[in-house]
Amino acid sequence: MPESSLTSKGQTTIPIAIREHLGVHAGDKLEFFIDSDGRVFIAALTADVSELKGMLPKSKKKISIDDMNKAIKKRGAKL
């Protein structure tokens, strides 16, 4: 089982097997969870943008870029 030591500054190195399993790299964000039994879980906050495809239902109404720009301008944003 991979293990790691904690430094005096509260830092640790995540073993490579764990980093590979999570698919994380330098600069990626991690989230820590503590369950009701006191166990700690780590989850990667990384996702490829392609994983977002299909999360929202397709709009029934076609909207042009011009329509989007008009709506943005109407709400006070500068284009």
pLDDT, position 77: 67
Give the pairing of strands 40-44 and 30-34. antiparallel
**pTM of the predicted structure, to 2 decimals:** 0.54
Digit-coded pLDDT (tens) for 1-53: 889 999 999 999 999 999 999 989 998 999 999 999 999 999 988 767 777 78
Looking at this protein, which amino acid is placed at residue 59? Answer: S
Closest-CA residue to 24 (of 39, 12, 14, 9)? 14
pLDDT, position 19: 93
- Where in the chain are the domains? 1-47
pLDDT, position 60: 84
Question: What CATH number should be reported for the domain whose range is 1-47?
Answer: 2.10.260.10
CB 42 within 8 A of CB 22: yes
Note the Cα 69 to chain centre separation in Å.
Answer: 28
Digit-coded pLDDT (tens) for 57-66: 888 888 899 9
